[in-house]
Chain A
Amino acid sequence: MRQDIVIRGTTRTGLLLLLPDEWEFPALCQRLREKLAQSGRFFEGAGVTAYTGRRVLAESEQRMLAEILRDARMTLLSAVEGGDPVAEAQAAAKAAEEARRASPPAPAAPVNLETALVVTKTLRSGQEVRHQGDVIVLGDVNPGAVVIASGHIVVMGALRGVAHAGATGKTEAIVAAAKLRPTQLRIAHVIGRAPDEDSPQSVPEVARVRNDLIVVEASSEKRQA
């Protein structure tokens, strides 16, 4: 079945008219007249932007289109080549996302248990842990507490204080927490802080450096890729 003409409201430019490629121009005009007749006075007074697909409208054809619209008391604002702009934007975003997934960040080296420090209590305000290697905290890191490690930092509870992973310049270090709500995050030379508005999600998250920015994502996301 051939694709039909689409008339759709948009927020910015009034109506949007999609002209499918597979129709001959006269048939297209015929169908448009029918459609407009069906919708009665519904579109009356609207400005229309026509998307012509791969078709290039001749000047006479464009005049014809404008006339058909004028008969239905509508104005042709412009006729542009190309398909549905919304669908195209979505497709572009999807392609970008796929490209991102196809090249995942370099995987972080696994936690080295030989040199890892395991902190078995909650770190409270004013308490600081510094360690050459990875740090695992079996508890929370409260606001005002600081964890500094040359390797990764993993917090099994809530991280609400300051964490500095890869402190000696290791940019592939990560900070992971069951509840990642840090006052500030630092990985190697990159500093990030929590957004000023609270984001109330509580899934385990991982922070890592990507393009010199600290990026936070759900820890399960990596496995799907």
Chain B
Amino acid sequence: MGQVIVVTSGKGGVGKTTTTANLGTALAQLGNKVVLLDADIGLRNLDVVMGLENRIVYDLVDVVEGNARLKQALIKDKRMENLYLLAAAQTREKKDVTPEQMKDLTEQLAREFDFVILDCPAGIEDGFKNAIAGAQKAIIVSNPEVSSVRDADRVIGLWDAQAESKSPAMLIVNRVRPKMVARGDMLEIDDMLEMLAVDLLGIVPEDDHIIVSTNRGEPAVYHKESKAGKAYHNIARRLMGEQVPIMDLNADDGIWAKFKRIVGLSRS
């Protein structure tokens, strides 16, 4: 059985869809069979970020309602052989699907795939309840910013309140700007962890590549020079059970720093 992981945050705009797309792609690059499931019915985005919008024939609601078989609705990624997407319905509503149906669906998918990753909608209503119903693991995405942390705390509380068979939530701190943290203008990651009291899965820096890659429908993990892409790669390896140290965001990547590294003046 594969792992069913929900990517959630409570607050909108913190990077759930970006995280889902990049983690899914990175896991597929590492040789896993992965399916991404867009649970944001009515406001689907994941297909756009993956660049697969024009290939959607059947969606999640079609499968749940029996209009299409699961195999028919799964869209194969255009770059990775072992990566699939099940799109959300755009013309339907969140309450057209029940948590039980989602549980059945994810169970079915987990039999065939190593990783089933659900992109949860913002909020804590029906869409959220559907998305977490079938998941055993939760990735909480939060920005280093007070309102986002507050919502993350709320969502962790709701996640913990479920059945005990679910494993504790893991945190990804997204859109970190190291210079602002160093200046004290952003929340310290240690302070976030102290309050949220969850395991840190990864830190993803703010990265212009994300905007470009989102608009092109090509996840940042394909770009070697993208720091965010590298961070997502590390997170994917951690999900597979590897011990990967948290990336040092303050590391200087300029030519001078590289030169210093070569001649042994700098430790990193």
Residues of A at the B interface (CB closer than 8 Å) are 121-127, 140, 142-144, 158, 160
For B151, the chain A residues whose CB sits under 8 A away are 125
Asked if B150 is at the interface of the complex by the 8 Å CB criterion, the answer is yes
The interface residues of chain A, by DSSP majority, are classed as: loop
In Å, the complex CA distance between A144 and B195 comes to: 12
Q: Which of B151, B156, B160, B197 has the most CB of A within 10 A?
A: B197
Provide a sorted-by-A list of 7 A–B residue pairs whose CB atoms are within 8 angstroms. A121-B160, A122-B197, A124-B157, A125-B157, A126-B154, A144-B150, A158-B195
Nearest residue (CB) in A for B124 is A126
Asked if A126 contacts B157 (CB within 8 A), the reply is yes
Asked if B195 contacts A160 (CB within 8 A), the reply is yes
Asked if B1 is at the interface of the complex by the 8 Å CB criterion, the answer is no
In Å, the complex CA distance between A20 and B153 comes to: 66
Asked if B197 contacts A140 (CB within 8 A), the reply is yes
Asked if B150 contacts A140 (CB within 8 A), the reply is no
Nearest residue (CB) in A for B153 is A125
Asked if B158 is at the interface of the complex by the 8 Å CB criterion, the answer is yes
B154, B158, B160: the one contacting A144 at CB < 8 Å is B154
Known: A124-B153, A124-B157, A160-B195. 20 other contacts (CB 8 A): A121-B160, A122-B197, A123-B157, A124-B154, A124-B160, A125-B150, A125-B153, A125-B154, A125-B157, A126-B154, A126-B157, A126-B158, A127-B157, A140-B195, A140-B197, A142-B195, A143-B153, A144-B150, A144-B153, A144-B154
Asked if A143 contacts B150 (CB within 8 A), the reply is yes
How many whole Å from A87's CB to the nearest CB in chain B? 42
Nearest residue (CB) in A for B197 is A122
The interface residues of chain B, by DSSP majority, are classed as: helix
Q: Which of A142, A144, A158 has the most CB of B within 10 A?
A: A142
Q: Which residues B148-198 have CB closer than 8 A to chain A?
A: 150-151, 153-154, 156-158, 160, 195, 197
For B195, the chain A residues whose CB sits under 8 A away are 140, 142, 158, 160
In Å, the complex CA distance between A126 and B156 comes to: 10
How many whole Å from A142's CB to the nearest CB in chain B? 5
For A125, the chain B residues whose CB sits under 8 A away are 150-151, 153-154, 157
Q: Which residues B197-213 have CB closer than 8 A to chain A?
A: 197
How many whole Å from A143's CB to the nearest CB in chain B? 6
Q: Which of A123, A126, A158 has the most CB of B within 10 A?
A: A126
How many whole Å from A140's CB to the nearest CB in chain B? 7
In Å, the complex CA distance between A142 and B149 comes to: 11
For A121, the chain B residues whose CB sits under 8 A away are 160
Nearest residue (CB) in B for A139 is B197
Nearest residue (CB) in B for A127 is B157
How many whole Å from B155's CB to the nearest CB in chain A? 9
How many whole Å from B195's CB to the nearest CB in chain A? 6
The 10 closest A-B pairs by CB, nearest first: A124-B157, A125-B154, A125-B153, A126-B154, A124-B153, A142-B153, A127-B157, A125-B150, A144-B150, A126-B157
Against A, the Cβ 8 Å flags (1 = close, 0 = not) of B128-156 are 00000000000000000000001101101
Nearest residue (CB) in A for B10 is A125
In Å, the complex CA distance between A144 and B154 comes to: 8
Nearest residue (CB) in B for A124 is B157
How many whole Å from B211's CB to the nearest CB in chain A? 30
How many whole Å from B23's CB to the nearest CB in chain A? 25
In Å, the complex CA distance between A148 and B158 comes to: 20
For A126, the chain B residues whose CB sits under 8 A away are 154, 157-158
For A127, the chain B residues whose CB sits under 8 A away are 157
For B157, the chain A residues whose CB sits under 8 A away are 123-127
For A143, the chain B residues whose CB sits under 8 A away are 150, 153
